[in-house]
């Protein structure tokens, strides 16, 4: 949810001219699994089982994977997704946006719609066949390279 939160903060900030550039990795402007939306109206204490994708065998780092989520959390996730997408057109910072076109969590269509609404889209990279974990998928070296370039670039 970091990309969605960052977008919401940048869009609602009173002093937008003082914000720097933003890098967004698979921001959650919409969820891929549309069957989750009606579930958000059920009892907030209901537990939803999650089926995380394990990291590739060649990734040795420890990765925390959620095995469940409360409906109350899902409700907030959906609320934040909608609120952040509304703010996309109010972001005045240069934006770098990276996402996978096969993301099972974040709807790539939401990211594509945001592309058309950002005023200052500086960098766009859509990874064909990539999922939600850009740091773990096969394109991770390119993602790391772009992050280093992002921090090295002068505003």
DSSP string, 15-54: TGGG---EEEES--SSBS-TTHHHHTTS-TTPEEE--PPP
| Cβ neighbours of 61 (radius 10 Å) | 7
Query: Strand ranges (DSSP E) for 13-151?
Result: 22-25, 47-49, 68-70, 95-100, 121-127
CATH top-level class of 2-140: alpha beta
Q: At what angle do helices 2-12 and 71-87 cross, to 10 degrees?
A: 40
Residue reference for tokens 């790539």: 108
Domain ranges of the chain: 2-140
Q: At what angle do helices 108-115 and 71-87 cross, to 10 degrees?
A: 20
Per-residue pLDDT of 9-23, as tens digits, reads 999 999 988 889 999
Bridge partners of residue 100, in order along the sequence:
127
* pLDDT surpassing 70 at residue 34: yes
Per-residue pLDDT of 57-73, as tens digits, reads 766 665 556 677 888 88
Pairwise CA distance, residues 102 & 147, whole Å: 21
Pairwise CA distance, residues 7 & 9, whole Å: 5
Per-residue pLDDT of 83-131, as tens digits, reads 999 999 999 999 999 999 999 889 999 999 999 999 999 999 999 999 8
pTM: 0.85
């Amino acid at each position: 949810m970091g990309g969605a939160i960052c977008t919401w903060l940048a869009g609602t900030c009173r002093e937008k001219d003082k914000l720097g550039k933003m890098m967004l990795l698979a921001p959650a402007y919409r969820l891929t699994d549309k069957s989750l939306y009606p579930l958000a109206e059920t009892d907030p204490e209901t537990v939803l089982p999650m089926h995380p994708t394990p990291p590739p065998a060649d990734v040795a780092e420890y990765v925390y994977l959620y095995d469940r989520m409360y409906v109350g959390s899902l409700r907030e996730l959906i609320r934040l997704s909608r609120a952040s997408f509304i703010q996309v057109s109010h972001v005045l910072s240069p934006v770098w946006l990276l996402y996978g076109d096969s993301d099972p969590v974040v709807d790539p269509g939401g990211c594509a719609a945001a592309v058309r609404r950002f005023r200052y889209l500086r960098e766009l990279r859509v990874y064909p066949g990539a999922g939600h974990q850009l740091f773990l998928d096969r394109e991770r070296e390119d993602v790391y390279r772009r992050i280093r370039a992002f921090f090295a670039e002068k505003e």
